[in-house]
A and B are shown apart, each in its own frame.
Chain A
Amino acid sequence: MFGWLQQIGHRVLSIVAGLGRSAQLLLAALMGLGYVLKNFRLLIKQVYVTGVLSIAIIGVSGLFIGMVLGLQGYSILVDFGAEDALGQMVALTLLRELSPVVAALLFAGRAGSALTAEIGLMKATEQLASMEMIGVDPVKRVIAPRLYAGIIALPLLCILFSIIGVWGGMLVGVEWLGVFDGSYWGNMQASVSFTHDVMNGVIKSIVFAFVVTWIAVFQGYDLEPTSEGISRATTKTVVHGSLAVLGLDFVLTALMFGDF
Chain B
Amino acid sequence: MTTRWIEISVGGFVIAGALALLLLAFKVSGLDINGDDEDTYVVYAHFNNIGGLKPRAKVTMAGVTIGRVAAVEIDPQWYDAKVTLRIDNSMKDKLSTDTTAMILTSGLLGENYIGLVVGAEEDMLADGGEIRDTQPALVLEDLIGKFLSSMGKE
Interface residues of A (CB under 8 A from B): 41, 44-45, 47-48, 51-52, 55, 80, 82, 91, 95, 152-153, 155-157, 159-160, 162-163, 166, 185, 188-190, 192-194, 197-198, 202
Contacts and interface: CB of A to CB of B under 8 A. Distances in A.
A260 to B, nearest CB: 9
Interface string B1-36: 001001101101110110011011101111100000
Indicate the size class of the contact surface on chain B: 20 to 34
16 contacts: A41-B3, A44-B10, A45-B6, A47-B14, A55-B13, A95-B28, A155-B17, A156-B20, A159-B24, A185-B27, A192-B28, A192-B29, A193-B29, A198-B25, A198-B29, A202-B21
Given A192-B28, A198-B28, A80 B109 contact: yes
B56 interface: yes
Contacts of B24: 95, 159, 162-163, 194, 198
B69 to A, nearest CB: 13
Interface in B43-97: 56, 58
Contacts, number: 75
Interface of B: 3, 6-7, 9-10, 12-14, 16-17, 20-21, 23-25, 27-31, 56, 58, 107, 109
Contact of B10 (A52, A82, A185): A52
B9 A52 contact: yes
A189 B58 CA distance: 12
Nearest to A40: B7
Determine chain A's interface SS by DSSP, over half rule.
Answer: helix
Given A44-B7, A192-B29, 19 more contacts: A48-B9, A51-B10, A80-B109, A95-B24, A156-B16, A159-B20, A159-B21, A159-B24, A160-B17, A160-B20, A163-B23, A163-B28, A185-B27, A189-B27, A192-B28, A194-B24, A194-B25, A198-B21, A198-B29
B107 to A, nearest CB: 8
Which of B25, B27, B56, B58 has the most chain A CB atoms inside 10 A of its CB?
Answer: B27
B30 A189 contact: yes
Contacts of B25: 194, 198
Contact of A44 (B6, B28, B29, B109): B6
A51 B58 CA distance: 40
Nearest to A87: B28
A80 B28 CA distance: 24
